[in-house]
A and B are shown apart, each in its own frame.
Chain A
Amino acid sequence: DGGITQSPKYLFRKEGQNVTLSCEQNLNHDAMYWYRQDPGQGLRLIYYSQIVNDFQKGDIAEGYSVSREKKESFPLTVTSAQKNPTAFYLCASSLLGDNQPQHFGDGTRLSIL
């Protein structure tokens, strides 16, 4: 079945460490997105990419980095510069064009030790 796979499901980070969250899709979508979800809040956009080797900052990009070397993959690195990284991270993808719904993975929950 086509879909989006995020791994790991749970991730723990020590202070000062960078961690990378994986996102892979086999839907043949050109666009991919990373969101952060905090309790009681909607989703906030971190980064997005419309094409391989190109990506743009979203609303809360500080302390995060991404790469898009392959169409299927869009990993997110949470750097030590992100002061409050504990959250639920969701990856999504969509076709290009207006009105296209986004399809979501099952998320990675990141916690600080």
Chain B
Amino acid sequence: AQSVTQLDSHVSVSEGTPVLLRCNYSSSYSPSLFWYVQHPNKGLQLLLKYTSAATLVKGINGFEAEFKKSETSFHLTKPSAHMSDAAEYFCVVSRTDSWGKLQFGAGTQVVVTP
């Protein structure tokens, strides 16, 4: 079975400072991993995905994530936070019990202060 643990339920950062959202996963196989962002009362938008091509994955809006197999981690970072980054972020792993199914983390709420 697979699981996803987002280590922080809330993160508060100042505008212009780095953002780090932590995610650990477990999976029986080489997983596909995703980060999604959700703004209030909206659907989820894909930020980036890892599918074994490269361990450092660049996404939209300046975000990137690094896959570390030895640490079973897939942390999301951004060098400089913007006010528009305030949202909820989900780390997601592909499930092994059936094609196409995803396992979502509980989410990390990001607050950006001026």
Q: What is A's interface to B at a CB cutoff of 8 Å? A: 4, 6, 31, 40-45, 48, 50, 56, 58, 88, 90, 92, 94, 96, 98-107, 109
B-chain residues with CB within 8 Å of residue A94 when the two chains form the complex: 100
| B113–chain A nearest beta-carbon distance, Å | 22
Contact of A31 among B36, B44, B46, B100 (CB under 8 A): B100
User: Distance (Å) between the CB of A96 and the closest chain B CB?
Assistant: 7
Q: Which residues of B contact A101 (CB under 8 A)?
A: 34, 46, 49
How many angstroms between the C-alpha atoms of A58 and B45 in the bound complex?
22
Q: How far is the CA of A102 from the CA of B9 in the complex (A)?
A: 23
* CA–CA, A101 and B33, complex, Å: 10
* Contacting residues, chain A, for B9 (C-beta < 8 A): 40
Residues of B within 8 A of A104 (CB): 36, 43-45
For this complex, 19 residue pairs linking A to B, each with C-beta atoms less than 8 Å apart, are: A6-B43, A40-B106, A40-B107, A42-B90, A43-B104, A45-B102, A48-B101, A50-B100, A58-B101, A88-B41, A98-B94, A98-B99, A99-B51, A100-B100, A101-B34, A104-B36, A104-B43, A106-B41, A106-B42
| Interface pair B32/A42, CB less than 8 Å apart | no
Majority-rule SS of B interface residues: loop
Besides A42-B4, A45-B102, A99-B94, 7 more A-B contacts (Cβ < 8 Å) are: A6-B43, A88-B41, A101-B46, A103-B46, A104-B36, A105-B43, A106-B42
Tally of chain B residues near chain A (CB < 8 A)? 24
